[in-house]
Structure 1
Amino acid sequence: MLVEIEDDRGVRTLTLNRPEALNAFNEALYDATTVALREADEDPSVAVVLLTGSGRAFSAGNDLVEMQARITDPEFQSGQYGFPGMIETLTALRKPLILAVNGLGVGIGATILGYADLVFMSTAARLKCPFTSLGVAPEAASSYLLPQLVGRQNAAWMLLSSEWVDAAEAQRMGFVWKVCEPDDLLPDARRHAEVLASRPISSLIAVKQTMVEPTRGEITAAAAREYAQFAELLGGVANADALASFANRQESK
């Protein structure tokens, strides 16, 4: 099962379950996550959604093998929802979303934090927005959400440098709310989720609606700009070289 689902006290925990690939998002995982998020949002017994990863990673981002196949394989099949569907679902999510970042978060494994209402991060976790190292543009409306969350210069460093950011730095920036020791991460995230879940769901939805509705149009516009830039750069020289280098490293393992 690509996304494990557990319900407890009004909290639905969704666990990305592709540990052999460090929970990298292929089309199947994008689809499974989108469906799980939509079902949680529509389920009247669910008050809060908690998203985490299995194994040693939160998510290694886009599956680069599939990214290369998208360029080179004329028969490549996109998923039913894919990346755009998941981003649209995150943008429209009515219920509080809590992330428990248990390990490395790369690409969408980092930019998804922009859609969370609360982020908990393990001291063992690290984040990276690797777009310039892959020769592509930002994604997931991160060009809008990151400056809003962490300020222009912190966002510029993350998006331009493709460098790692550790948990302490992510908290200093305001990218995460609480940093926890690895064994405390899920219990602490769940404890806070249960506090929220003890409140009326209608009120939780109303609070989130009033907070995020002013940004939804901006998120959609930013995502459209990013898609256009990404499409222009995907398969270009810098991107092709980066993907070939990745493929060579995989073959040599």
Structure 2
Amino acid sequence: MSDPIRTELNDGVLTVTLARAEKKNAITQAMYAALAEATERAQTDAAVRVLVFKAEGDSFSAGNDIADFIAIGTSGGGQMLDAPVFRFLKSLAELDKPAVAAVRGRAVGIGVTLLLHCDLVVVAEDALLSTPFVNLALAPEAASSMLLPMVMGHQRAFEMFALGEPIDGKTAFAWGLANRCVPAAEVDAVADGLVAKLAARAPNSIRKTKRLMRDAEQIWALMQREGEAFGSQLSSPEAMEAFMAFSQKRAPDFSKAG
């Protein structure tokens, strides 16, 4: 079985590839551990100037692996802050080197909120991006409850969270979630061009610029508060109904929730 997370360092660029195409690059806790390790390496390794997120197959990421969620939820949900996903989120909050994402196909949940921690995002015109946390009776994560409204405004962000309906790449670009929107076949080439420009810039100047633009402590503190809300929802009857409905390919019934 191939490694679902592949990393490659070349000319100062650490490329992290989601390589679980047969599962639409749904992310397991083991994959989060590998993502955390790669992001921590990007932060501490002097040879790394730029971190790049890419994906194999027809989806950037289907989001969190539902089976992992069900396992955590049925065990009480209290493990969330100790789970590998939070090691990854902390590494994103603390990263002061530039990060770039190349997005094709579907990006769901963490597949979208990850982009809020990237400094340059190239998205395919026909990509579909969604944050269906409420559809799964969960709560936002990755500091997205603050960062998404900052990017696109409260009303648009609330619609993405509360309705969970996808927006295409052109809309994502228009709403400020991406720097470039191009045909799917051009995504990697355009991203690679931007990465090369970043890698050629003065590295310490870029790091200081990014640190001035982001409050890492505030972002990490919010991630932890979101994690508490997420964890409490994960073990709730609402979430169990949502997960059951998802596995049964039906709409969830929240009529008795309150």
Q: Same fold (TM over 0.5)?
A: yes
Query: Residue 255 of structure 2 corresponds to which residue in structure 1?
Result: none
Flag structure 1 segments of 5+ consecutive residues without an equivalent.
Answer: none
CA offset at residue 133 of structure 1? 0.5
Distance in 1 (CA, whole Å) between partners of 2:177 and 2:65 is 24
The question of whether the paired residues in 2 share the 8 Å contact of 1:100 and 1:186 is answered with yes
Instruction: Output aligned runs, 1:60-209, within 5 Å.
Output: 60-72=62-74, 82-209=84-211
* Superposed displacement of residue 93, structure 1: 0.6
Cα gap change, 1:220 to 1:73, in 2 (>3 Å) = closer
Task: Report the Cα offset of residue 218 of structure 1.
Answer: 2.6
Q: Deviations over 1:70-126 (max 9, x none)?
A: 12358xx98985111111000001210001112211111111111111111012311
Deviation at 1:247, TM superposition (A): 2.0
1:28-67 correspondence to structure 2 within 5 Å: 28-67=30-69
Question: Are the aligned partners of 2:81 and 2:228 in contact in 1 as well (CA < 8 Å)?
Answer: no
Counterpart of 1:241? Answer: 241
- Amino acid across the alignment from 2:237: V
Provide the C-alpha distance between the structure 1 equivalents of 2:226 and 2:245, rounded to a whole number of angstroms: 24
Opposite residue 84 of structure 1, the aligned amino acid is F
Rounded to whole Å, the distance in 2 between the matches of 1:79 and 1:160 is 24
Q: Secondary structure at the match of 1:137?
A: coil
Cα pair distance change 1:190/1:110, threshold 3 Å: same
Aligned residues: CA RMSD: 2.1
Cα distance change on mapping 1:216 and 1:78 into 2, 3 Å: closer
> Once the two structures are superposed, what CA deviation does each residue of 1:144-199 show, in whole Å capped at 9, x if it has no partner?
11111111111111111111111111111101111111111011101111011011
CA–CA distance in structure 2, aligned partners of residues 22 and 79 of structure 1: 25
Instruction: Report the alpha carbon displacement of residue 140 of structure 1 after superposing the two structures with TM.
Output: 1.0
Query: With structure 2 as the length reference, what TM-score do the two structures score?
Result: 0.89
Contact 1:31–1:82 at 8 Å: present in 2 too? Answer: yes
Amino acid across the alignment from 1:57? S
Counterparts of 2:201 and 2:142 in 1: how far apart (Å)? 30
Alpha carbons 1:9, 1:194 under 8 Å: kept? no
1:206-238 Cα distance to aligned partner (Å, 9 max, x none):
2211221xx323312322331222222223222
Aligned residues: percent identity?
33
Return the letter of the residue paired with 1:223.
M
Tell me which residue corresponds to 1:226: 226
Tell me, in whole angstroms, the C-alpha distance in 2 between the residues paired with 1:128 and 1:48.
Answer: 26
Conservation of the 8 A alpha-carbon contact between 1:144 and 1:218:
no
Pick the aligned partner of 2:4 from 2, 15, 24: 2
Give structure 2 stretches of 5+ with no counterpart.
251-258
For residues 138 and 79 of structure 1, do their structure 2 counterparts lie closer, same or farther at Cα, with a shift above 3 Å needed?
closer
Deviation, structure 1 residue 35? 0.5
1:27, 1:79 within 8 Å by CA — same for their partners in 2? no
2:203 counterpart letter in structure 1: I
Whole-angstrom CA distance in 2 between matches of 1:2 and 1:159? 28
Flag as ranges the 4+ runs of structure 1 deviating above 4 A.
77-81
